[in-house]
Amino acid sequence: MTSGTTTPARTGRPSKVRVIVAVMLFVTVVINYMDRANLSIAMPALSGDLDLSTAQQGLLLSAFGWTYAAMQLPGGWLVDRVSPRVLYTLCLILWSLATFFMGIVGGFAALVVLRLLVGALEAPAYPINSRVATAWFPERERATAIGFYTSGQFIGLALLTPVLSWLQAAMSWHWVFILTGVVGIVWGAVWYLVYREPRDSRANEAEIDLIRSGGGLVELAEDRPQERPRNTRGDVATVLGRKKLWGIYIGQFCLTSTLWFFLTWFPTYLVDYRGMDYIESGLLASLPYVAAVIGVVSSGLVSDLLLRKGVSLSLARKAPIITGLLLTTLMAGAAFTDSTALVITFLSIAFFGNGLASITWSLVSALAPQRLLGLTGGMFNFIGNLSSIATPIVIGFLVTDESFTPAFGYMTAVTVVGILSYVFLVGRIERVSERQPS
């Protein structure tokens, strides 16, 4: 996985190239979510400069979600056919260019168009992450790896929200987009130069054997795109016709709804409904992200520890998810207090729970038919990220000038649906058959 193609060394001790892969995925996720959240950070100032109504703000905040959701299935199709090295490089550079130009244009319509482009180009990101993790990590390490790189979305937001808020206050909202765009373009080049598939990397045979014997699908990385058959209607019927898969689809929608609240309306809530300035809101907004980081890291470690202790795969994977969703319902407490400290406490506990539940992608690799991993991941991400459309729009309709309480009620109800989905639909964790059940 280092730059250049090399012949794997043949030694007895497994190398640790997969650790570098995890770090690269982590950095990519940081950039991915930085480019999702930059608009919400800029929105209070941007909406004032452009004199945007609440309806226009909701439309602009949801624009990413329209194309992000619409491109999930095409994105999954691409993931099954184009190498992660090439596909991630193209996506990173192109969505970062669109982000960069958001800092240059000055009109509402142009911002909407560019945000639509960012959404479309980020669509393959998490299916790529899942494919890379499935090829590079054995089952007993996979949840830890997924938890580690997923924590990037929260660590990045925890560290960069205050920085970008300060940048906006010191200069202007334009620089929020310019800076984040440049960072993504540079990292796209780094990804292309450094990432390799297992057999083309410096991973030795011992590491590759460890991955394969532990359930890692190294052969995914060895397949040639032109050799892969086209997805048929029957394939689509498979990923849409299984109760277990619908359980994780619905659960992901509910889990991701909380994330999209924080990525869209949270800074506006702090500024407009709690009366904070940009810098204060940036500092306080980082606290729930810190809590989410702790939740994400704990989730993967606890899940894999349970698995190594002999606990069933079903319990080891589902226990952190359901526990996390239960904690997320405490978001409702923010609606019943005027104390800023208590509001941040309730929201931090809720986002900790959201992070604790974030190993849901490990269920995709465990449940999906092996041949349809990309298509299943695309469907999972598509349905899950319909919340990126629904959340900003629904909250925009529910809140009033005086009260944000209906928004917290909506978020709590959605979370309860997610809990029920994992309890009653997912059931035992085992790979779904491609054949229709009799």
Structure confidence at residue 228 (pLDDT): 53
Structure confidence at residue 220 (pLDDT): 62
Q: Is the pLDDT of residue 298 over 50?
A: yes
d(C-alpha 129, C-alpha 113), whole Å: 26
Structure confidence at residue 418 (pLDDT): 95
Structure confidence at residue 285 (pLDDT): 78
pLDDT category, 78, cuts 50, 70, 90?
A: confident
Closest listed residue to residue 3, CA positions, set 16, 17, 22: 17
Q: What is the pLDDT of residues 356-372, one digit of tens each?
A: 998 887 888 788 887 78
Q: Express as a percent the part of the chain with pLDDT over 70.
A: 89
Question: What residues have CB less than 8 Å from 74, skipping those under 6 apart?
Answer: 123, 378
Question: What residues have CB less than 8 Å from 184, skipping those under 6 apart?
Answer: 31, 34, 35, 92, 93, 95, 96, 99
Q: What is the pLDDT of residues 311-326, one digit of tens each?
A: 888 888 888 999 999 9
Torsion of the alpha carbons at 203, 205, 211 and 216, rounded to the nearest 10 = 90
Length of the chain in terms of residues written? 438
Task: Kindly report whether the global pTM for this prediction surpasses the value 0.85.
Answer: no
Mean pLDDT for all residues in the chain: 83
Q: What is the pLDDT of residues 329-351, one digit of tens each?
A: 999 998 888 888 898 999 999 99
Q: What is the pLDDT of residues 15-35, one digit of tens each?
A: 777 888 899 999 999 999 888
Q: Express as a percent the part of the chain with pLDDT over 90.
A: 28
d(C-alpha 410, C-alpha 167), whole Å: 33
Structure confidence at residue 215 (pLDDT): 60
Question: What residues have CB less than 8 Å from 147, skipping those under 6 apart?
Answer: 296, 297, 298, 299, 300, 301, 303, 358, 359
Structure confidence at residue 301 (pLDDT): 83
Distance set, CA 76 to CA 70, 79, 82, 117, 378 (Å): 11, 5, 10, 17, 4
Neighbours of 110 (CB within 10 A): 13
Inter-residue contact 365 to 142 (CB < 8 Å): yes
Neighbours of 163 (CB within 10 A): 15
d(C-alpha 53, C-alpha 75), whole Å: 33
Q: What is the pLDDT of residues 155-214, one digit of tens each?
A: 888 888 888 888 888 888 889 999 999 999 999 999 999 898 777 667 677 767 777 766
Give kind and range of the element (H or E) at residue 169.
helix 139-170
Neighbours of 13 (CB within 10 A): 8
Structure confidence at residue 5 (pLDDT): 35
Euclidean distance between the first and final Cα of the chain, in Å?
A: 44
d(C-alpha 374, C-alpha 128), whole Å: 8
Structure confidence at residue 4 (pLDDT): 41
Average pLDDT estimate for 385-413: 87
Dihedral pair phi/psi, residue 5, rounded to 5°: -90, 130
d(C-alpha 128, C-alpha 135), whole Å: 11
Q: Which two tokens stand for residue 77?
A: 């199709």
Number of H helices, E strands in the chain: 20, 0
Structure confidence at residue 217 (pLDDT): 65
6 or 272, which is more confident = 272
Range from 122-126, 196-200, 230-234, 409-413 that averages highest in pLDDT: 409-413
Which domains occur in the chain, in start order? 17-426 (1.20.1250.20)
Question: What residues have CB less than 8 Å from 292, skipping those under 6 apart?
Answer: 151, 154, 158, 351, 352, 354, 355
d(C-alpha 124, C-alpha 132), whole Å: 12
Q: What is the pLDDT of residues 238-283, one digit of tens each?
A: 888 888 899 999 999 999 999 889 888 888 888 778 777 767 777 7
Average pLDDT estimate for 112-131: 91
